[in-house]
Amino acid sequence: MRRLLKEPEGFFLDDEKDRLTCSICGEHYYGSEMWWNLNGTRCKDCWRNIKECVIPSLTPRYDDKSNWFESGQIKSNHGVHPSSVRKLVKERLLHSRDLKRKDGSVHYTVYLVSENQEFLKKYPKKKSDIKMTVSDKDGK
């Protein structure tokens, strides 16, 4: 936390032996390739896309109050088959943002909630069929 006083935007972590997970794309990188701030860890590619204003700063993936969603969530949460996603993008019902690597190749695709209100109205989030039970060591 002290380092944030000197570098309030965040910083690349020191070289680490363990790999860390990017809170946006979910890929694993060593510390020297991970940007850290109070919003979470970002890989060098996701961080560069934020700095270049391709995307705003995003909440960590799978946050209940997330300001974005990913391709995999379109099928599981909204019932849209992956092959239909490209069609919906062409029809401009679904708006995507491609995050690119330094060489210009697409690294990851995100969908901002703010840009996809029409899609979310037409394909509302389904309730999950997954039921979870939590119990303590005594089975309560």
* Residue (of 24, 33, 16, 15) closest to 107 by Cα position: 24
Q: Is position 130 within any domain? A: no
Find the domain containing 13 and state its range. 2-122
How many domains would you assign to the chain?
A: 1
Give tens-digit pLDDT for 123-134.
998 876 666 667
Give tens-digit pLDDT for 52-104.
999 998 888 777 778 999 988 999 899 999 899 999 999 999 999 999 999 99
Q: Is position 133 within any domain? A: no
Q: Is position 100 within any domain? A: yes
Q: Left, alpha or beta for 13 (phi > 0: left; psi -120 to 50: alpha)?
A: beta
Q: Is position 11 within any domain? A: yes
pTM for the structure as a whole: 0.81
Q: Is position 21 within any domain? A: yes
* Residue (of 103, 97, 95, 108) closest to 46 by Cα position: 108
